[in-house]
């Protein structure tokens, strides 16, 4: 899973595993969440959103099963 640094006031990095539809997001406060069953088009739309935090809140938060991960992405 390859991570990408994003320009956002709330998100720091985004990583995606297309084979397993897993999205990992590291927030600016260093917490990391893993979301499952996330389609590739949602990941792509997040990367291209003008406001990634707003997109996350509108499209991802509360829409996909998630787990908090204890370690930051690298």
Provide the pLDDT for residue 60. 98
Question: Given this model, what pLDDT does residue 74 score?
Answer: 53
User: In terms of C-beta density within 10 A (0-12 exposed, 13-18 middle, 19 or more buried), how is residue 9 classed?
Assistant: exposed
Which tokens go with 58? Answer: 């509108």
pLDDT of res. 56 = 97
* Helix/strand number for the chain, H first, E second: 2, 5
Q: Quick one: pLDDT at residue 15?
A: 97
Show the tokens assigned to 20. 């397993």
Cα(58)–Cα(72) distance, rounded to whole angstroms?
24
Quote the pLDDT of residue 73: 56
Query: How buried is residue 44: exposed, middle or buried, by Cβ count under 10 Å (0-12/13-18/19+)?
Result: exposed
Query: Can you give the pLDDT at residue 1?
Result: 83
Mean pLDDT by 10 residues, the chain (74 residues): 92 96 95 96 97 97 93 57
């Amino acid at each position: 899973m390859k991570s990408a640094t994003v320009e956002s006031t709330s998100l720091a990095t985004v990583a995606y595993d297309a084979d397993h539809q897993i999205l990992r997001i590291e927030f600016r406060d260093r917490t990391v969440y893993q979301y499952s069953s996330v389609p590739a088009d949602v990941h792509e739309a997040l990367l291209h959103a003008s406001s990634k935090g707003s997109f996350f809140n509108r499209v991802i938060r509360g829409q996909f099963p998630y787990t908090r991960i204890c370690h930051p992405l690298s």
